[in-house]
Structure 1
Amino acid sequence: MMEKHAHQFERGTDGPKVIVVGVDGSESSLRAAAYAGGLARRQRALLAVVYVQPVMAAGAALGAPVAETTDAIAADLVAYIRDAAERVRDIFEVRWEFHTFHGDPYKGLLTAADELKADAVVVGASEQAGHRIVGSVAVRLVKAGRWPVTVVP
């Protein structure tokens, strides 16, 4: 008798339908977005661009305009992505959406990938030296083992 496995949706049979890419404005995250955009175009998948707005309680307690700063970063990222999509519109078209989540980048990307029913996650390699020892967001996503994860250098 075969054992039944419960799952929410099927993965891996027809290629990815939703590709989540994490962006934060860093060079590696923008390279990841470009890679994910090409993958989404070839697979005819939806590209879900995700920016996780950090929650900095200490900065907020000191009166720093943290929310305004992260909102400005999100607005700049949307403008950058729209501009890039417009430049290549006559060559190819990619369906994309921009989403913002609040919190820790790892937990934010986990939430995003779950809520958006991601078939794949793409992130840029960490540019911080300490992450080689402690573990970057990318390594933590791979260890979560919930989706194929591509790390773009």
Structure 2
Amino acid sequence: MTEQHSHQFERGTDGPKVILVGVDGSDTSMRATAYAAGLARRQKALLAIVYVQPVMAAGAALGAPVAATTDAIAENLVTEIREATERLKGIFELRWEFHTFRGDPYNGLVKAADELKADAVVVGASEQAGHRFVGSVAIKLVKAGRWPVTVVP
């Protein structure tokens, strides 16, 4: 019997080395970030905080300053995270990096998880009512079956 592996690296042997969390400024994503930070601290893992900047071709075609707006959101998120990290210095140490990717949230997080070699992915539950029927980014990540996914309410 031949065993097939779809991944290059083995998970679960020494604990996660990289925990990726998706952040967009929503309440659930900020709770997910706090949860992931606690996991990363306890596991002595790197916390990779990822903001996926939406690409809105239609908005750009209409002259909307989409890129400037999403850049400002990314800068505000980094500032918030830095301030929170500074407040916690001396209480506990946390290794973290902030990354931005462009695209839709699902594909952006998949690309980030692959490039950053994430061992686990943490996301906030969708706050949009329609996602209960259509499917959220979290559900798509779980269905991808490539990493353990934690969904924080």
With the shorter chain as reference, the TM-score category is over 0.9
Deviations 1:43-80 (A, max 9, x none): 00000000000001111011000000000000000000
Q: Identify which range, 39-48 or 4-13, moves more after superposition.
A: 4-13
Unaligned runs of 5+ residues in structure 1 are: none
**1:79 counterpart = 2:112:** no
Secondary structure in 1 aligned to 2:63?
coil
Of the structure 1 ranges 9-18 and 65-74, higher mean CA displacement relative to structure 2 is found in 9-18
Instruction: Rate the CA distance shift 1:141–1:6 in 2: closer, same or farther, 3 A.
Output: closer
Shift of residue 10, structure 1, vs aligned partner: 1.6
Matched letter for residue 129 of structure 1: A
Shift of 1:5: 3.7
Letter of the aligned partner of 1:100 in structure 2? Answer: T
Q: How many Å apart are 1:2 and its aligned residue?
A: 5.0
TM-score, normalised on structure 2?
0.97
Amino-acid identity (%): 81
Determine helix, strand or coil for the equivalent of 2:36. Answer: helix
Q: Deviations over 1:83-123 (max 9, x none)?
A: 00000011001100000000000000000000100000000
Give unpaired runs (5+ residues) of structure 2. none
Structure 2 match to 1:70: 70
2:46 corresponds in structure 1 to: 46
In structure 2, the residue matched to 1:116 is 116
What is the aligned length? Answer: 153
TM-score calculated relative to the size of structure 1: 0.97
Match of 1:10 in 2: 10
Distance (Å, rounded) in 2 between the aligned partners of 1:117 and 1:38: 19
What's the RMSD between the two structures over aligned residues? 1.1
Q: In the TM superposition, what is the alpha-carbon distance from 1:35 to its structure 2 partner? A: 0.2
Shift of 1:6: 6.2
Matched residue of 1:39: which SS? Answer: helix
